[in-house]
Structure 1
Amino acid sequence: MKPYTPLETRSEETETPADLDLGAAVAAVDELRAAATAAREQNQNDLRAMQARLDAIETRAARPGATETRDGTVERRAFASYLRLGNQTPADEIRALTVSNDPQAGYLAPAEMSTEFIRELTEFSPIRTYASVRTTGAPSVKYPTRTSITNASWEGELEEADESNITFGQTEVVIHKIQTFVDISNELLADSGGAAEAEVRLALAEDFGRKEAIAFISGTGSKMPEGIMTNTAIDHVVNGHATNLSADKLIDTLYSLPAAYRNAPGAAWAMNGSTLAAVRKLKDGQNNYLWSPAYVAGQPETILGKPVVEMVDLPDIADGSYPIIFGDWSAYRIVDRLALSILSDPYTQARRGVTRIHATRRVGGRVIQLARFVKLKTATS
């Protein structure tokens, strides 16, 4: 017979199986909830990191000069995928590629936009280097001139002096304007990484320099500078033959100027390349060349001891032309009113998808002392 145990004692010391199962379930649920929360936070962190990497890639791709440009981006990505996956490349990217062989003029790799531009040589006369250049803020510059000197005479004692009359005048250099504009595609500006705009600016500078040089040599003076060869008041020496240069007449040309002008620091010959070649071929009675180019580095070529400037805009040797000019080039005055101004306008032509680049230059030029120059005329009279 078992001993008697009070009911209160039995209820405090004994746990039922149901109580044990409920506690374990609660603990398991708490563990699962904590694991799910940690996994969700980890996924969010990974998503944020991935988004940051995508943003960085898009930022680099949008920069000018990036490896991938908008031109051919789809093809480049498809090509990269093909290199990684081969035949497993998705069909939509395979369609962006062209598969062929060299004899059929087909290539797998996409085209690349080079930043190197191929350009032709632009030649113009370097008259700015030798002329006298000034700047002004006015539409023209007037230079007062004195056209005579006093008329002193020898007088005896107590005789009165005679009056002298001095005449004055003025020479005006008028400022003229040259301008143009260029429309360039916004896509080309973006795809070239700034190289296209720089090339347009270079082309404008070359064009304006060429047009200025031509005007300084042969400009009419109407809406453009007056050219040094246009001024008919400059004295000249006749060569005596329409095509064959005379060495004696070159000497006459040099010494027809006063010594002060002939020996001035800016005194030099000017002619184009073909005329210079003809001068270099002149020979004496023993078939020796009269003049030779300089063989010392840094020393200019000379004719009769005076420097030679090659100016491509001077005329060739022909009957009645003036292929050679000699003088003190500081007597040709160039006045700059406005340096080459380039304005980029991306707004007015935005509907067409182009940027308009305006260029303007204001400059004047004229001979201010005619007596400092002399020309050689290839003619018989």
Structure 2
Amino acid sequence: MNKILELREKRAKAWDATKAFLDTKRGTDGLISAEDEANYNKMEADVIALGKEIDRLEKQAILDAELNAPMANPLTGKPANPKLEGKTGRATDEYRKAFWNAMRTRAGEGLDPTVKNALKIGTDSEGGYLVPDEFERTLVEALEDENIFRRLAKVITTASGDRKIPVVASKGTASWIDEEGTIPESDDSFGQVSIGAYKLGTMIKVSEELLNDSVFQLEPYISREFARRIGNKEEEAFFIGDGSGKPTGILAATGGAQLGVTTAGATAITLDEVLDLFYSLKAPYRNKSVFIMNDSTVKAIRKLKDGQGQYLWQPSIQAGTPDTILNRPLFTSSYVPAIAAGAKTIAFGDFSYYWVADRQGRVFKRLNELFAVTGQVGFVATQRVDGKLILPEAIKVLQQKA
């Protein structure tokens, strides 16, 4: 954690130096020379690289904490009473152990994975090729972008059927009334949004040798891989899904967020347009609002200043705290389009008005026979989920000129 804080402070200082360089090199027309532009780009690249390294270290810290978490319940009973206060149902350690034993066990062996054949692992021609030489205890994985949508949205669980969500379509008003005057009627009108469930799934094939290697940590790998695949596909739909066989995203043409600003240029964003987007959102929603955009869009607006001469983008120097634009948190996602003609490049609003509905969690299945001829076992994970923006005015988007 000290390393992360050190890098955050280093990034903040590098950004201050970059801003100072840019301010001193601007001409009377507000532009800089090609040579100074190249130097600025290099300094900015260093700031971006530090930010990515901070993200990597923070994700590694979270993963280390998960893998180093205790696997057993603490002793909570008195010495004279050995009965422990444990979890029940599918949360019990017994259920978890039995589940993963079943996942590891090959077909025909029952639940006892200790049955071995008579082939020799020391002789290649008699079975040695079937046994991996050695597995490193640490699995090296490529890092992916962090999934942010579920952290910002409202997540609910549904049992069956569509979930009907009542929404106030319009609100009544009060009126000034003369003495002995009639109080006019002013009723609220209501509507409803229906959330269903779309099926999302993925499959992993694992060799029998890998399943029977006691060194390799199968459980966390499968869990993380399923979570990564399903999470990435979910987030893509929550942003750009069209509602056809998948959730309706906030950037969808129908059912998505309201248009806040259309830029004057097809490939550029100005300070005034960011400010217009900020104030296009009603004040009550701004209290919990965040910016979400592509990394390339952040780079494009990094040079912009507000009316007080402060740069819009401000780096965070506190661990776990996102960078900000106009004092509101900034998140990035690769599923938000980059700057291009007609693209919706920035979303700003209160994302708790986007509801994610899970239908009874995720389902895991083991396929023993399908890949038996290749010595592999398949694992399938499926999930039924839907997502919709319940109140379109709670999120505004900035769209590039067509």
- Pick one of 71, 74, 88 that aligns with 2:122: 74
Query: Residues 324-357 of structure 1: CA distance to partner in whole angstroms, max 9, x if unpaired?
Result: 1110111111111132222224356556643231
1:238 match: 262
Is this contact kept in 2: 1:337–1:362, CA < 8 A?
Answer: yes
Q: Which amino acid aligns with 2:265?
A: H
Query: Residues 189-242 of structure 1: CA distance to partner in whole angstroms, max 9, x if unpaired?
Result: 224655456534432221111101101111111211111111456122022112
Query: Residues 36-66 of structure 1: CA distance to partner in whole angstroms, max 9, x if unpaired?
Result: xxxxxxxxxxxxxxxxxxxxxxxxxx988xx
Structure 1 residue 323, shift from structure 2 partner: 0.9
Distance 1:269 1:279 in 2: 13
Is this contact kept in 2: 1:124–1:312, CA < 8 A?
Answer: no
2:382 corresponds to 1:360 = yes
2:17 match: none
SS of the residue aligned with 1:315?
Answer: coil
User: Are residues 348 and 292 of structure 1, via their aligned partners in 2, closer, same or farther at CA, if it must alter by over 3 Å?
Assistant: closer
- Unaligned runs of at least 5 residues, structure 1: 1-61, 77-91, 97-109
Is this contact kept in 2: 1:283–1:289, CA < 8 A?
Answer: yes
Is this contact kept in 1: 2:248–2:256, CA < 8 A?
Answer: no
CA-atom RMSD in angstroms? 3.4
- Pick one of 139, 150, 172 that aligns with 2:161: 139
SS of the residue aligned with 1:74?
Answer: coil
Is this contact kept in 1: 2:257–2:395, CA < 8 A?
Answer: no
Is this contact kept in 2: 1:235–1:375, CA < 8 A?
Answer: yes
1:311 match: 333
**Percent of aligned pairs with the same amino acid:** 35
- Unaligned runs of at least 5 residues, structure 2: 1-111
1:262 match: 286
- Pick one of 251, 267, 275 that aligns with 1:251: 275
Distance 2:373 2:319 in 1: 56
Output the TM-score relative to the length of structure 2. Answer: 0.62
Distance 1:71 1:184 in 2: 21
User: Are residues 289 and 271 of structure 1, via their aligned partners in 2, closer, same or farther at CA, if it must alter by over 3 Å?
Assistant: same
Distance 2:137 2:123 in 1: 20
User: Are residues 132 and 240 of structure 1, via their aligned partners in 2, closer, same or farther at CA, if it must alter by over 3 Å?
Assistant: same
Structure 1 residue 371, shift from structure 2 partner: 0.9
Distance 2:271 2:393 in 1: 23
Alignment length (residue pairs): 284
Distance 1:221 1:244 in 2: 30
What are the within-5 Å matches in structure 2 for residues 1-381 of structure 1?
Answer: 73-75=121-123, 111-191=133-213, 193-196=215-218, 198-230=220-252, 231-232=255-256, 234-263=258-287, 265=288, 267-283=289-305, 289-346=311-368, 350=372, 353-379=375-401
Distance 2:318 2:368 in 1: 52
Distance 1:262 1:287 in 2: 22
Distance 2:326 2:196 in 1: 36
SS of the residue aligned with 2:314?
Answer: coil
Is this contact kept in 1: 2:312–2:326, CA < 8 A?
Answer: no
Distance 1:278 1:195 in 2: 42
Is this contact kept in 2: 1:215–1:225, CA < 8 A?
Answer: yes
Distance 1:119 1:365 in 2: 30
Q: Which amino acid aligns with 1:172?
A: S
Is this contact kept in 1: 2:277–2:348, CA < 8 A?
Answer: yes
Distance 1:216 1:269 in 2: 15
SS of the residue aligned with 1:361?
Answer: strand
